[in-house]
Amino acid sequence: METSPIPVVTVQTAPFDDQRPGTNGLRRKTAVFEGKKNYLQNYIQSLLSSIDLRDRQGCTMVVGSDGRYFSRAAIEVIVQMAAANGIGRLVIGHNGLLSTPAVSCIIRKIKAIGGIILTASHNPGGPGGDFGIKFNVANGGEDSQKREIHQVSRTLEEYAICPDLRIDLSRLGRQEFDLENKFKPFRVEIVDSVEVYLQLLRNIFDFTAIKSFLTGPDQLKIHIDAMNGVMGPYVRRILCDELGAPANSAVNCVPLEDFGGRPPEPNLTYATSVVDAMKGGDFGFGAAFDADGDRYMILGENGFFVNPSDSVAIMAANLSAIPFFRQYGVKGFARSMATSTALDRVAKAMKLALYETPTGWRYFGNLMDSGRCSLCGEESFGTGSDHIREKDGLWSVLMWLSIMAARKLSVEQIVREHWAKFGRNYFCRFDYEGLDPRAAFYLMRDLEAVISDKAFTNQKFAVGDHMYSVERADNFEYIDPVDGSVVRNQGLRIVFNDTSRLVFRMSGSGGGMGAIIRIYAESFERDPERHSRETQVVLGPLIAIALKISSIHERTGRRGPNVIT
């Protein structure tokens, strides 16, 4: 019996005034997406309508999620609305799961128009947690259409949907649907979450060398924490099945809707499983991933912590260990402004360009698309290269394992040798979270007035036996070398005459959770005899200056930061 075509329904709605996507898409409390009538539908319609109608008709899009609560329900709505809006084919990860790097990889591989990723990154999951929707464009990278999405959302009066369309996310393969008034059937393909991404990694790394390193007579014992996010299937399939790591090397590999009740944030505060395991001394390498798999943390034996700013610099100095870079060469490096200048020293030694960008991966994407950049990183535990257009946690772990296998050194030995050769950039970040947005705004405005005053340049600060002289201070702005566009107000920075730096940045964390002010401190030390000092001791005087000139504790009522990285 022939089934009748599925009807396309137009539903009347009213616009929301808070659907402006940020750097990482639209993030809100899950209850907002789940509980506010049409909130999800309005945003998906705005996203789809922001794509030119001619490009949209019959095109292919990728859909994936980090497995957090409400993802399955949201994917069903996305499928129904994509069909109604003329999308020809959706490629969706098995059970709705795809890591952010895998989405970027698949978009590029199948030449899709873009991809929708349901994630709030390292933010908590569950009904009381956070939810997010991010759109990546055809290069596999961050959306440049945020303004268009927001403009559509402000005047939206209706959305199109096929409410009777149902798909089975657990069934691999193709499903086809005939729709009313559509000439071609709408196709959904449920694909293996790992396979395409695994093939890409095989073409970048020497899997044989890594496997013998993990399984040989002097095998490296590793401990990997997937933090109950999307990375579980990737870790099991790639590190255990493909590269031979014992199954018990990987923990928390079952994706859970609430990530086991903890924030899926790969840092020393939340990735306690890997931190505790590494302190025991039984493992030579430890790593943890965030919910969607783009961020990572590396630990060495006895819990030796690798600062993310050092991590990207060490990768840059050891690219000759990676077949991909031996084959394609190295074009240049890039880092976000807040990231330490350790990468700059490597770039200088290798006589390569170094680009300092605002926070946000799309600036790196522009540099990569124009052939200017091969490797990039941010201090917030994200590193990547031009194999995709996203930061990539598992790629970063395989970079480290490749370097260790090639150099036959431990994590700590590699880091210390790097410091001995290039000097050490002591670096830390203070996060003040959940601040009153008005108080945060005025604090930053007043601080900018202080550092912009001509008298501030050449000002001297005496802290204990340290004397710091200001060399320059500004509000960072970026002129994109590719398209000439200018981005202003990207963070206040103060550079002292010994190259020490202080950086102040404010961001809204999304979801109505207040503002965040981050203070970054950095100090360079050439002398290897002074490379083993406690970071907070070295940077204490700089932090004291930061607290004094910003009056952050007095103005916010806080006694200290929520998180120190």
pLDDT of residue 143: 79
- Could you write out the DSSP letters of every residue in 289-342? E-TTSSBEEEEEGGGEE--HHHHHHHHHHTGGGSHHHHHH---EEEEETTS-TH
Contact call for residues 296 and 377 (beta carbons, < 8 A): no
In the chain, what are the domain boundaries?
Answer: 9-192, 197-422, 424-564
| Residues of the chain where predicted confidence (pLDDT) is lower than 70 | 1-2, 509-512
Alpha-carbon dihedral sign for residues 497, 501, 502, 505: positive
* CATH tag, 197-422: 3.40.120.10
pTM for this model (two decimals): 0.97
Q: Which CATH architecture has domain 424-564?
A: 2-Layer Sandwich (3.30)
Asked, colleague to colleague, whether 197-422 and 424-564 share their fold, the answer is: no
Burial code (b: 16+ CB inside 10 Å, e: under 16) for 257-281 equals bbbeebbbbbbbebbebbbebbeee
pLDDT of residue 429: 96
- pLDDT, one tens digit per residue, over 178-190 is 999 777 899 999 9
pLDDT of residue 255: 98
pLDDT of residue 313: 98
Report the DSSP pairing between strands 478-479 and 486-487. antiparallel
User: Dihedrals φ, ψ of 359, to 5°?
Assistant: -70, 135
Euclidean distance between CA atoms 373 and 354, whole angstroms? 8
Which 8-state DSSP code applies to residue 85?
A: T
Maximal C-alpha separation, the chain: 88
Euclidean distance between CA atoms 521 and 208, whole angstroms? 41
Euclidean distance between CA atoms 93 and 74, whole angstroms? 14
Q: Domain 9-192, CATH 3.40.50.450 — does that match?
A: no
Residues 38-41: contacts with CB within 8 Å, 24+ apart? 38/11, 38/13, 38/14, 38/159, 40/74, 40/77, 40/133, 41/11, 41/13, 41/77, 41/81, 41/159, 41/161
pLDDT of residue 174: 98
| Selection from 523, 520, 508, 524 nearest residue 561 by Cα | 520
From 49, 65, 121, 193, the catalytic residue = 121
- Give the bridge partners for 130, in sequence order: 29
pLDDT of residue 170: 98
CA distances from 479 to 337, 367, 426, 428, 488 (A): 13, 12, 28, 27, 9
* 401 token code pair: 């394992």
Q: Please indicate whether residue 121 is annotated as part of the active site.
A: yes
CA Rg, the chain, in Å? 24
pLDDT of residue 285: 98
| Selection from 133, 128, 131 nearest residue 143 by Cα | 133
Report the DSSP pairing between strands 285-289 and 250-251. unpaired
Contacts of 140 (CB under 8 A, 6+ apart): 103, 104, 105, 107, 108, 115, 388, 389, 390
pLDDT of residue 289: 98
Contacts of 342 (CB under 8 A, 6+ apart): 309, 310, 312, 313, 422, 425, 427
Alpha-carbon dihedral sign for residues 464, 466, 469, 473: negative
- Give the bridge partners for 257, in sequence order: none
